[in-house]
Structure 1
């Protein structure tokens, strides 16, 4: 048994924001949540004084590079990074080597993660080999445990094939998750088109219209088919406006935004170089403000890290030849707390909704409240401690946040009756 004492339960499911002790049985199920509980004989006690006790974070968008590129990350190191970041559940993207387009690869990932403190789910691909030509077996992939289907990293460029995928997904109640980018509008990825950073690094950059063109198309297709679609890592103000309008028209669409797009802009790229090269790129300050506004008014549903580890050698290449992407699981809470809560844009409860409740509900994950009868998947958070990240559990160190003063940090996750400290 485990008794978490002296903490403050902050639960977006129940609305509780009050001092509570939480007792967890040997079976990992929450047995009691009360203002005060005495420890039963032989019970382990965790003193959570100064911490909040909340449902663990859920990240619908991570890359663990396993199988195929385990020099960058693997399931075990990715799960360790997720645990350090306060995550209860993560969903891995399908752009592995080979592509996760068969049930066997889905089971490979989930079997490898079965003893991890973090629940690792594996998305399936929409098209075979991510080639955008032939749809996968949707039924087989979801039966194997895929919580959604995605060709993340590759835009589903054919409108006809995209519509067929939406029709099939809608008929089966399957969630689709889309990387929205018209390739012909991306002269070079990783940095905003025409920005000072693009000029400095000698590349054209990626236009924001590459993202908005696809979002507009797919809102129309979602309205036409009734499909449920997540728009991944949106980066600009016009995308927020389009999604807001699409929702008002009745489209069953959702949007995710990353901590880095909420906290950094194109002006930060020169200082960080390839560690701030990402796809979609960091955009203007006006876009960052629009993303925050969309998060606050509910247009953007959830925060997802797009955790994308690369080797130091790859990121050491010149800007035009380096891969896009940064790591994000371990720093996400601190970044969001610093730039959203401490600035007054969101309350702590609202941040918990965006990082825990909303993604869990969108991906069909149930039983997550800090309530009796639920299996414990909790995070213990300090919202005020000064935090500077220097080392990581992830194999990837490609993040612009190293050495940056931030506020707040996860202290531990609780899975069942087991505490995993950061």
Structure 2
């Protein structure tokens, strides 16, 4: 009896040990399987997505930006809120079937603000702050602080250099230079627009409206003239009005009108310059200075162009062509021939004319051979003592005053000698 009991107890104990052993083996197997699967998925995770995606402040970001395989599709999890308006690091959920990943979105701000500044004129009673110099400032963050780079000293009147700094919340900075003109009292005198406001342009060609136009002011030295040419049609012959405006740093403004005459082109520059080049080939030598070239041109015109009356004075190319082919003409032809030859010889030259009267008009050139402007007038005069080559303005004005104001030009229009 006791032996049977002991045998049963032994069998029961053996079964329990066997069951425990099997359970332990099964648990270990399950653990190893789970660990293997986990290791597999962990390994696969790092090859499927980027753990962190970096984007510039205000930039766009898509769920697919986190995938290493660009051909895969992805969306953000419903609870993911995407914003790139503020710098920082944000947790995002990315779903790319059949997996869901937790990644980081890093929003960086590395771009400095855009800043445009202006110069100011003020008295000591109205010292400006840094923001007063700002015309426009912008940044993706919308948070910009504007301040002076260094403290300003207002002890002396005059122009004071100023450095304006625009800094965003991430420390990105833009520095621009401006000028504070510190005055004892405000300037109320407007600038003055003068020079060659009237111009002749050929149909279909561009017009340099600002050429020869000068702005002067009692305080400011660098005022840009603005041109309203909206009513000018360069493709249709006719006379058109342009409006010139200039404004100084105190807001004083001047306005002037100019006349743009658009004419048909009867002769091309190529035609005129071909005739000029033939003449220059005979009279210009390689070792000549600009002065010598200009003198050779003056001598040739005086010796080869005869004087005759003409009324056609609107088209310098026609005037030059007629003068070079017919070998005669009035002062406009002399001027136009000189302009063609001087230009092709590489000598800087500009046009000039007297203030016209009911009975008199006259045209000539000014040239610069490296010593400043000089007058260049090839037209022969009854006074044989007159020599129109390389004359200073002082000498020509003295001659003009003694000869019925023969060269009385508008100094506000032609500012070469002002």
TM-score, normalised by the number of residues in structure 2: 0.25
Q: When you count helix as a share of all residues, which structure comes out higher?
A: 1
Q: Larger Rg: 1 or 2?
A: 2
Relative to total residues, which structure has the larger strand share, 1 or 2? 2
TM-score (norm. length: structure 1): 0.25
- Determine which structure has greater relative contact order: mean sequence separation of CA pairs < 8 Å that are 6+ residues apart, divided by chain length: 1
